[in-house]
Amino acid sequence: MGWKFTEAAFKDLIVKLKADYTILGPKRFVGQGRFSDTDLIRYDEIESLDEIVWNEKSTFSPKEVVFPITQTLFYFIEEKFLEPKLDENKILIFLRPCDINGIRRLDTIHLRNGPQSDSYYAQLRERVRFVMMECMEGFDTCFCVSMKSNITSDYDMAVRFGDDEVLAEVKNDDFTRYFSLDLPRVEFTPGFVQENTIKVTVPDGGEISAGIYNHDMWNEYKSRCIACGRCNTTCITCSCHTTTDIFYDDNMRAGERRRTWACCHVDGFTDMAGGISFRKDNGSRMRFKVLHKIYDYNKRFGEHMCVGCGRCDDNCPEYISYSSCINRLSQVIQETDACVKIP
C-alpha cells in the first residue's frame, strides 16, 4: 500500500519534515554547468518541493552528504587532540536507486573493510535516511541495469513524482506520523528501470591474466587522460582520501588534522618518500580504476563497486568513456581467452 499526495500536500510534508530533518536533494544551480548556458545539478539543502530536480541526472552524486569533501578529524591545541563537536540533526536525502547502491559501497569500505570501522563516517551515516526517487527510464549514459544496481529495497520512503501529484511508499513508520490523517491510500510500489540504452559486459567471476594488465588497450589513455580526477570526484563509489595536518597562520600552536577526497587518477596518489611511486602514466591509472571498479572490489567483497551511474562519462573533459572501456576490456579478454572462468 502507498499514499497519494497532491503537490500542495507534499509541499506541506516537506515543511513538516524540515522541523526534524535537514533535507538534501538534487538542486539546480543556473548557469554553473560545464558548458555555457548549462546548469549544474548538485546536492544541497532543499527548502521546498520545487527545488528538487527529479527529472534530470545530477552532475555530482550525493556522496558528500555521508563522506564530505574535506572533514576535520581533530582540532589541535598544543599537543591536545580534540574531536569536533558532533552534529545530531537527522538527514533526509532524495536520491536514485543507483546512488543508494553506491552509498552501500561507501559503507562497505568505511565500516567493514578491516576490523575497525570509521567512526566519523559511522556517526554521519547513521543520521541519514533515504527517500528513493523512482527511476524508470534512466538517462543516456546510465548502465545501472548491466551493473545490477538499478534495484534497491534499502530506503525509508520511495516516491514517484508526477506532474501534480506524488505517490509514496513508506518502509520506515517514523515518517507516517508526519502525514495528515485524511491522506488517501493507493496501491503503490516503485518501479525500476529495466533496460538502459548503454549496456556493458562485465568480465564476471574469472581470473584476469597478466597479459590484460600490460595490454595495449590502456595505452590510448596514456595521452588522452589528463589526470584531472573528475571521474573520481563525481563517482558515487570512489572513497579514497588523504589525511593531512595544518597549523593556523596566526597561531602555529593550533591547527587541524583533516581528511580530503583523493583521486587515483591524480599525480601523487602513490608517492612515497625517496621518490618511489607507482602507476606513473595515466594509462595505468585508468587500468587501476577500471579494474578496481569491476574486478578487484568484486573479488574482495562479492559485488562490483561501480553502480553504472555514468557520471564519469558525463564529466570527463577528454570524452573518455569508461563504459566503452569496460566493453573493450571484455572483448580483449574474450579474444585473448585470458579470463579463465572459475566454476
Partner 1 sequence: MRENPMMPKPHKVIKIDLETDLESTFRIEVDTPPALGQFYMVSIPRIGEMPISISGIGPGWVDMTIRNVGKVSRAVHSLNEKSILFLRGPYGNGFPMDEFKGRHLVIAAGGSGIAPVRPLLEHYYRNPDEVDKLDLLFGFKTPDDILFRQDIDRWKSRFDTILTVDDACGIWEGECVGLITEYVKNIKLSEYDKMEIVIVGPPVMIKFTAAEFIRQGVSEERIVVSMERRMSCGLGKCGHCKISEYYICLDGPVFRYNEAVKLVD
Ligand X SMILES: Cc1cc2nc3c(=O)[nH]c(=O)nc-3n(C[C@H](O)[C@H](O)[C@H](O)COP(=O)(O)OP(=O)(O)OC[C@H]3O[C@@H](n4cnc5c(N)ncnc54)[C@H](O)[C@@H]3O)c2cc1C
Instruction: Give the Å distances, CA to CA, from 2 to 118, 185, 186.
Output: 36, 6, 5
Cβ neighbours of residue 3 closer than 8 Å, sequence gap 6 or more: 167, 168, 169, 170, 179, 183, 184, 185, 186, 188
- Beta carbon nearer to ligand SF4, 49 or 235: 235
User: 255: which 3 cell numbers?
Assistant: 591547527
Instruction: Give the Å distances, CA to CA, from 114 to 52, 213, 243.
Output: 37, 27, 18
Binding residue for ligand X (CB under 6 A) from 35, 273, 319, 335?
Answer: 273
Cross-strand partners of 222: none
User: 24: which 3 cell numbers?
Assistant: 538534501
- Beta carbon nearer to ligand X, 210 or 272: 272
Distance of CA 3 to the CA centre of its chain: 29
- Return the one option of ligand SF4, partner 1, ligand X, none that residue 265 interacts with (CB less than 5 to 8 A, by type): ligand SF4
Shortest Å, Cβ 148 to ligand SF4: 12
Shortest Å, Cβ 278 to ligand SF4: 16
| 292 near partner 1, rule: CB under 8 A | yes
Binding residue for partner 1 (CB under 8 A) from 47, 56, 83, 318?
Answer: 83
- Return the one option of ligand SF4, ligand X, partner 1, none that residue 227 interacts with (CB less than 5 to 8 A, by type): ligand SF4
Interface with partner 1 in residues 100-139 (CB under 8 A): 109-110, 113-114, 116-123
Helix locations, the chain, DSSP H: 7-18, 63-66, 97-107, 119-125, 210-213, 219-224, 230-234, 282-291, 297-301, 311-315, 322-336
Nearest residue to ligand X by CB is 272
Interface with partner 1 in residues 195-254 (CB under 8 A): 210, 213, 239-247, 252-254
- Beta carbon nearer to ligand X, 48 or 242: 242
Contacts with ligand SF4 by CB under 6 A lie at: 102, 225-231, 234-237, 265, 293, 306-312, 316-318, 320, 322
- Beta carbon nearer to ligand X, 123 or 242: 242
Binding residue for ligand X (CB under 6 A) from 19, 181, 252, 272?
Answer: 272
Contact present, 283 and 219 (Cβ < 8 Å): yes
Shortest Å, Cβ 238 to partner 1: 8
